[in-house]
């Protein structure tokens, strides 16, 4: 029986050429799988047909937008996930979802091999292959760009030789990956880290320097989940989509950073994530109101580790699963409203309220009505500092040793 390769298909040059190339190299039939994670661009029915025209024996498109929002973006929001305190895991979040659907397609179509278009320099090869190893260790993996030294020049020549129905003449100066949670841009002149980004590489955000009126928005959360925008009930997908639109129009969510890749090199990346940054900003503020101090301190470390695990391709790891359980419990009281002003490239919190909040006006005020018993503070301070006081006295006796 002829083997089948299940290919993660984007519809672009590299994965389109991979269809006949994989067939030649392996003798297998190719099944193309495109997953819609809110990336926009071409009609996915067009992409599906292109795969068939390039020689795929089967081609399918999975509409995973709501699933991506609810099961991948939402956990990242509740974890305030920002790799290196800045990057909201745009590409890293979509890979485990794509892996899940590749495995499902392999089971449906009798696939024994899975293929992706990643190179050997990036993080995505790890995310795909570690995820596949966790969900379907029996499947073989081929990465043409890495395993067969496949270059863009070779891809263009192969496409022309085979007369494939794809445009090989236009070449973007950038490499772009985008989805509902944001947009990642790299390569080209951006590889010179002294060179500033130009305005035409942005697509999700308007120029924050342009004059415009501020936009005020109120986000309502229930147990860490955004459930309403300005009082209108929304799903997670709708919340992200709406804040992508409104925050993007104000230039919110632009990032230009040099990040530490998993493979050990540093890489310059430009990101746009207007909805993600606005929602994380609001969520962090609501946690400040509703989460008890020691739990909040500990969760900040958990959030950082959660983001590192996802960035490093360990979505399906035992530690990630255990941290999910902790975060779920920590979100039980994260309910209320946060008011943001979107303007000039920033999402600024201007108000917050919650029936589950731990902020007590009577305790906090310095005016009449103060309910805080200050007479207790003197003894508290003395006992709190007692270990340090005793250690300092000991060090003085022992000459600072």
**CB-CB contact of 256 with 351 (8 Å):** no
Is 95 designated active site?
yes
Is 72 annotated as a binding-site member? no
Contact (CB, 8 A) for 189 and 49: no
Q: Is 13 annotated as a binding residue?
A: yes
14 is in an annotated binding site: yes
Q: Does the annotation place 354 within a ligand binding site?
A: no
Hey, CA dihedral for 63, 66, 69, 75, is it positive or negative? Answer: negative
Cα–Cα distance for residue pair 209/211, rounded to 1 Å: 6
Q: State the helix-helix crossing angle for 44-53 and 13-26, rounded to 10 degrees.
A: 30
Q: Is 271 annotated as a binding-site member?
A: yes
12 is in an annotated binding site: yes
Annotated catalytic residue: which of 63, 107, 175, 353? 175
Distance CA 32, CA 254 (A): 33
Q: How far apart are CA 236 and CA 234, in angstroms?
A: 7
Catalytic residue among 124, 254, 267, 352: 124
Q: Is 15 annotated as a binding residue?
A: yes
Is 124 annotated as a binding-site member?
yes
C-alpha dist (Å) from residue 329 to 79, 219, 284, 383: 12, 21, 16, 32
Contact 220, 282 (CB under 8 A): no
Q: Is 224 annotated as a binding residue?
A: no
Residue 79 phi/psi, 5-degree rounding, is -95, 5
Residue 373 annotated in active site = no
Active-site residue identified among 4, 14, 335, 352? 14
259 marked among binding-site residues: yes
Q: Is 16 annotated as a binding residue?
A: yes
Residue 175 marked as a ligand binder: yes
Active-site pick, 48, 95, 246, 268: 95
Half-sphere exposure of 36 (CA within 13 A, CB side): 18
Q: How many CB atoms lie within 10 A of CB 35?
A: 26
307 is in an annotated binding site: no
Position of tokens 């099961």?
Answer: 71
Indicate if 175 belongs to the active site. yes
Q: Is 357 annotated as a binding residue?
A: no
Ligand-binding site membership of 366 (annotated): no
Query: Is 85 considered catalytic here?
Result: no
| Partners of residue 8 on adjacent β-strands | 33
Q: Are 74 and 236 in contact (CB under 8 A)?
A: yes
Residues marked as binding for L-citrulline?
87, 123, 127, 175, 259, 271
Catalytic residue positions?
Answer: 14, 95, 124, 175
Please enumerate, by residue number, every residue annotated as part of a binding site for L-aspartate.
119, 123-124
Write out the binding residues: 8-16, 87, 117, 119, 123-124, 127, 175, 259, 271
Binding residues for ATP: 8-16, 117
């Amino acid at each position: 029986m002829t083997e089948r390769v299940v290919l993660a298909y984007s519809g672009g040059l590299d994965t389109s050429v991979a269809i006949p190339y994989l067939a030649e190299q392996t003798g297998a039939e190719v099944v193309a799988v495109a997953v819609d994670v809110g990336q926009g661009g071409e009609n996915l029915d067009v992409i599906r047909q292109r795969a068939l025209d390039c020689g795929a024996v089967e081609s399918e498109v999975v509409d995973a937008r709501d699933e991506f929002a609810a099961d991948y973006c939402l956990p990242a929001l509740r974890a305030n996930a920002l790799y290196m305190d800045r990057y909201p895991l745009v590409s890293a979040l979509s890979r485990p979802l794509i892996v899940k659907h590749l495995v499902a397609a392999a089971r449906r179509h009798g696939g024994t091999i899975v293929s992706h278009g990643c190179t050997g320099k990036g993080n995505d090869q790890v995310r795909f292959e570690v995820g596949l190893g966790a969900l379907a260790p029996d499947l073989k993996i081929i990465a043409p760009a890495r395993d067969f030294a496949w270059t863009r020049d070779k891809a263009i020549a192969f496409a022309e030789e085979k007369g494939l129905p794809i445009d090989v003449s236009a070449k973007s100066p950038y490499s772009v990956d985008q989805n509902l949670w944001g947009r990642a841009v790299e390569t080209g002149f951006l590889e010179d880290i002294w060179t500033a980004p130009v305005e035409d590489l942005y697509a999700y955000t308007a120029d924050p320097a342009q004059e415009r009126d501020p936009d005020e928005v109120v986000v309502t959360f229930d147990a860490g989940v955004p459930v309403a925008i300005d009082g209108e009930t929304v799903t997670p997908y709708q919340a992200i989509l709406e804040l992508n639109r409104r925050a993007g129009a104000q230039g919110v969510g632009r990032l230009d950073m040099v990040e530490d890749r998993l493979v050990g090199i540093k890489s310059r990346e430009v990101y746009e994530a207007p909805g993600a940054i606005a929602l994380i900003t609001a969520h962090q503020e609501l946690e400040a109101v509703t989460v008890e101090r020691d739990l909040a301190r500990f969760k900040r470390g958990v959030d950082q580790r959660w983001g590192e695990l996802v960035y490093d391709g360990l979505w399906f790891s035992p530690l990630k699963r255990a941290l999910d359980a902790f975060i779920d419990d920590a979100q039980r009281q994260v309910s209320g409203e946060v008011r943001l002003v979107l303007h000039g490239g920033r999402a600024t919190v201007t108000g917050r309220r919650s029936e589950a909040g731990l902020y007590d006006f009577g305790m906090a005020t310095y005016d009449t009505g103060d309910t805080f018993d200050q007479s207790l503070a003197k003894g508290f301070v003395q006992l709190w500092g007692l270990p340090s006081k005793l250690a300092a006295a000991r060090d003085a006796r022992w000459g600072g040793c």
